Amino acid sequence: MKLINDLNTIWDVNFSPDGKYIVSGLQDNTIRLWDVHSGIEIKQLLGHSKDVLSAQFSSDGKMIVSSSNDKTIDLWNVESGKLLKQFKGHSSRVMRAKFSPDGKFITSCSLDDKIRIWNIETGLEWKILKEHSHHVNDIKYLPDGQTIVSCSSDNTIRLWNIESGKRIQILEGHSQAVRCVDVSQNGNTIVSGSTDCTIRIWG
């Protein structure tokens, strides 16, 4: 099955928790929702003024968080399609925005070299993690909900304790920018991909 969307570049796609829908972030500034079974576009979320670089459902499927080249993070109601909140603070494009496992926070990373953690209820910035020396390209939560892993164009991967805001560990080995990172379901293994043309597994 192929989902048609006028050939705009698609920067990110993710399934809803129940697997019935797909959310996509596009170069045309839109977020689009698709029905998996029919392949039909069912909704567009409009509000960003530049490319939407990431889009993710909350764990209950009721909200979507998006990040954009316009330096903002938006929080959306899936059913109504309405913008609930907008988070501003990054000074460059926001590469990724992720819900915390408990759904209380959003963590974002940016080409401004910083990671920011936002309180969803208050809409305020809670913490800034700023040890990377170059663009922060991707972030993931570990299953414990207390740790995040980030990767950067400074060639490193870093693990952070969310509560303290302190860096726990640095993983070094890539010789060029680390573009993407993921964590195994049990939280014991990290995988990273880099422009040095290697994938590395860390345990």
Q: Where are the domains of the chain?
A: 1-130, 144-203
- DSSP for 107-166 reads EEEETTS-EEEEETTT--EEEEE---SS-EEEEEE-TTSSEEEEEETTSEEEEEETTT--
Task: Provide the pLDDT for residue 8.
Answer: 84
Q: Which residue type sits at 60?
A: D
Walk across the sheet containing 41-46 and list its strands.
10-15, 21-26, 30-35, 41-46
CA–CA separation, 59 vs 202, rounded Å? Answer: 26
Walk across the sheet containing 199-202 and list its strands.
178-183, 190-194, 199-202
Q: What is the CATH number of domain 1-130?
A: 2.130.10.10
Token digits of residue 14: 């993710």
Task: Provide the pLDDT for residue 131.
Answer: 94
Task: Provide the pLDDT for residue 87.
Answer: 98
Mean pLDDT by 10 residues, the chain (203 residues): 71 97 96 95 97 97 98 98 98 98 96 98 96 97 96 98 95 98 96 98 96
